[in-house]
């Protein structure tokens, strides 16, 4: 049997009285793009934050490449190759661009002293090659708070890619983006697939998810309501099922 | 390895050469330029109003002798404020360190050992502050008001409120190395202040620890999502200010070779004022060591200047207040302009 890149077994998460996730079983294959769909408050973000190590599950197991991982933390997940582009982007807006690119994983020597010029060089390279910043007003020394929404998203994405991620999670990445920026983003997800990596793509917009995902997982009220391979289902049927699940809690 | 950068596409690109642009320079260094402007303006006013005082070197040696006592603590306090926290307990740490010093000396008659015990006491109190704030989630402003009273109380209980001579340190080599004078003019405590400021700058701007400090003050949620141990960093910041406060307590007491149980009480506001005058944001995320360093000297000069220009000492606080409020307004305005 082929082992999964990432697998969640019977994962539940409670916040006090509220059960955000209930016995969730989720798999992400090698070189697979999975779209995660669900209404607001369905538990998508909670599921993501469990995978990234930000939340601990109340019960259940997390497996990376078939190996069970206990006490997953954010830094452990990053070491295992999980990179996330968060809905809230997780940028430090008062800090410079180069500091944001290397946030939490600064290039440093053994004593912890920063390799500042190396980080500036790398940031400059990423800016011109991957982020498409050509304006001379933007430099590695620019403060991220002065950037537009799309530019900030670019920073968050490039940061995720720089560190050789195996699993890239995109949490509502199209939020606040222009049409042009959204198109770029969809291409970017296709690039992930082409590069042989895996991705989890979360979005409100069924169309965006349908266009890039190999498989769609529908979450409703903390449970997995169902999943479909995008090649086996057409967009209209998927839309119908989404509406039905929001109203009745059942796909059929 | 996922933590290693991938350099696949690096060959083709032009290396980054920082180009000098005036606008960018002002945006990046606005805060420092602002405080330098305030500094030189005040200096000019002082020289014009009291030339005989401010054109003689004596007054500057006097500043270098007294400013370091609170200026040293303003350096780690700057880092604490950048991380979005506050510490009001450092004056009590100064005194508690000295109590440990005296108790250890009574037991061992070793000045060196007593000095080390004082520093350990400072680090311990700082650690305790940090643990209370991080593990119980209590706002640092409130927690350190509490610990400030507690440790001042401990000083009073242990010393029975009595002050005492430290004449025994005259024999020790530690005295000339902490508060001696180089060629009979330049005070050693100034050298320590400069050393602490440089170490503080390196830690804040060229070390991971400083990068994480800025990040926590800027956006603590992002810091956590990016896997930074925000609790440990904050506890270490409080340990750092504890260490420097205990050190400053020893230096200030050695200077007069006397221990007062009220040691440090006079330094609370001047230390805080140095930090905020220097342009460190009350909201966290921005601030500089250079700003604080200059801020400390402005605070130190105001008192001497008010008297030298012919006003009575009663004016000092009024002028303090005015300059602090105006500077904070200036810094807030500059910061808005930068965005």
Two tokens, residue B204: 């804040």
Cα separations in angstroms, A14 against A68, A73, A221, A227, B249: 21, 18, 13, 23, 49
B211 and A99 within 8 Å at the Cβ level: the answer is yes
Chain A residues with CB inside 8 Å of B15's CB? 121, 124
Work out the minimum CA distance from A251 to partner chain B, whole angstroms. 34
Q: How many CA atoms lie less than 13 Å away from B259 in the CB half-sphere?
A: 27
Which of A96, A125, A134 is the best residue to mutate to test the B interface, defined by the most B CB atoms within 10 Å of its own CB? Answer: A125
A130 lies in some domain: no
> Residue A99's closest chain B neighbor by CA?
B211
Helices assigned H by DSSP within B83-172: 90-108, 111-135, 140-159
Mutation target for A interface from B1, B4, B5, B19: give the one with most A CBs within 10 A.
B5
Task: Give me the interface pTM, i.e. the ipTM.
Answer: 0.83
B339 vs A116: CB contact, 8 Å cut-off?
no
Handedness of CA B131, B137, B143, B144 (dihedral sign): positive
Secondary structure class of A67 (helix, strand, coil)? strand
Q: Show the tokens assigned to B258.
A: 């006397």
Q: Which of A84, A94, A164 sits opposite B4 (nearest CB)?
A: A164
Which residues constitute the domain of residue A211?
6-81+165-248
Q: Do B224 and A54 lie within an 8 Å CB cutoff?
A: yes
CB atoms within 10 A of CB B25: 12
CB contact under 8 A, B218 and A146: no
pLDDT tens per residue across all 339 residues of chain B: 334 444 334 444 556 766 667 776 776 777 788 888 888 998 998 899 888 888 888 889 989 999 999 999 999 999 999 999 999 999 999 999 999 999 999 999 999 999 999 999 999 999 999 999 999 999 999 999 999 999 999 999 999 999 999 999 988 889 999 999 988 889 999 999 999 999 999 999 999 999 999 999 999 999 998 889 999 999 999 999 999 999 999 999 999 999 999 999 989 989 999 999 898 988 889 999 999 999 999 998 887 788 777 787 788 888 888 888 888 888 888 777 765
Residue B161, helix vs strand vs coil: coil
Q: Do B214 and A94 touch (CB under 8 A)?
A: yes
Query: By the CB < 8 Å criterion, does A54 face chain B?
Result: yes
From the list B1, B206, B221, the residue facing A88 with the nearest CB is B221
The size of the A-B interface in CB pairs under 8 A is 128
Q: Domain of A38: which CATH number?
A: 3.40.50.300
Contacts A91 to B, Cβ<8 Å:
219, 222
| pTM of the predicted protein model | 0.88
A188 within domain boundaries:
yes
If one counts the domains in chain A, the total is 1
The architecture of the domain spanning B31-338 is Orthogonal Bundle (1.10)
Sequence-separated (6 or more) residues with CB below 8 Å from residue A197: A31, A165, A166, A167, A168
Q: Is residue A86 part of a domain?
A: no
């Amino acid at each position: 049997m082929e082992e999964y890149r990432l697998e969640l077994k019977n994962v539940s998460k409670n916040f006090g009285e509220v059960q955000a996730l209930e016995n969730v079983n989720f798999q992400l294959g090698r070189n697979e793009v999975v779209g995660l769909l669900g209404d607001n408050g369905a538990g998508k973000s909670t599921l993501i934050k469990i995978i990234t190590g930000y939340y601990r599950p109340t019960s259940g197991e997390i497996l990376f490449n078939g190996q069970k991982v206990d006490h997953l933390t954010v830094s452990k997940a990053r070491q295992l190759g999980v990179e996330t582009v968060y809905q809230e982007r997780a940028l430090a807006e008062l800090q410079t661009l180069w500091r944001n690119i290397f946030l939490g994983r600064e290039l440093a020597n053994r004593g912890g002293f920063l390799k500042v010029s190396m980080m500036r060089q790398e940031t400059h390279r990423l800016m011109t090659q991957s982020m498409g910043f050509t304006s001379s007003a933007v430099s590695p020394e620019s403060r991220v708070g002065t950037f537009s929404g799309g530019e900030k998203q670019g920073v968050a994405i490039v940061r995720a890619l720089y560190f050789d991620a195996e699993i890239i999670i995109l949490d509502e990445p199209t939020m606040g983006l222009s049409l042009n920026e959204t198109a770029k983003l969809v291409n970017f997800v296709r690039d992930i697939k082409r590069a042989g990596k895996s991705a989890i793509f979360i979005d409100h917009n069924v169309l965006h998810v349908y266009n890039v995902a190999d498989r769609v997982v529908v979450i409703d009220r903390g449970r997995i309501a169902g999943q479909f391979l995008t090649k086996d289902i057409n967009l209209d049927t998927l839309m119908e099922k989404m509406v039905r699940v929001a109203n009745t809690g059942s796909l059929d | 390895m996922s933590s290693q950068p991938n350099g696949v596409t690096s060959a083709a690109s032009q290396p980054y050469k920082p180009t000098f642009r005036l606008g960018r320079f002002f945006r990046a260094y606005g805060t420092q330029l602002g405080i330098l402007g305030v500094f030189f303006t005040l200096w000019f006013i002082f020289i014009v109003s009291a030339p005989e005082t401010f054109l003689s070197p004596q007054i500057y040696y006097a500043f270098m002798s007294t400013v370091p006592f609170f200026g040293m603590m303003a350096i780690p306090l700057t880092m604490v404020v950048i991380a979005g926290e506050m510490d009001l307990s450092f004056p009590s740490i100064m005194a508690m360190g000295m109590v440990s010093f005296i108790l250890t000396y009574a037991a061992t008659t070793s000045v060196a050992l007593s000095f080390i015990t004082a520093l350990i006491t400072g680090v311990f109190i700082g650690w305790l502050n940090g643990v209370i704030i991080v593990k119980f989630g209590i706002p640092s402003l409130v927690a350190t008001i509490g610990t400030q009273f507690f440790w001042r109380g401990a000083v009073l209980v242990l010393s029975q409120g009595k002050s005492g001579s430290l004449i025994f340190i005259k024999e020790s080599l530690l005295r000339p190395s902490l508060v001696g004078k180089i060629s009979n003019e330049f005070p050693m405590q100034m050298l320590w202040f400069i050393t602490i400021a440089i170490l503080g700058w390196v830690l804040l701007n060229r070390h991971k620890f400083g990068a994480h400090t800025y990040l926590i003050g800027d956006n603590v949620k992002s810091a956590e999502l990016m896997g930074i141990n925000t609790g440990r960093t904050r506890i270490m910041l409080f340990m750092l200010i504890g260490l420097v406060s205990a050190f400053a307590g020893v230096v200030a007491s050695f200077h007069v070779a006397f221990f007062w149980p009220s040691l440090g009480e006079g330094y609370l506001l001047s230390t805080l004022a140095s930090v905020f005058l220097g342009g460190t944001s009350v909201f966290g995320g921005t601030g500089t060591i250079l700003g604080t360093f200059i801020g400390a000297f402005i605070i130190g000069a105001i008192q001497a200047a008010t008297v030298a220009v012919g006003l009575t000492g009663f004016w000092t606080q009024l002028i303090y207040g005015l300059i602090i409020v105006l500077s904070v307004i200036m810094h807030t305005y500059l910061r808005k302009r930068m965005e």
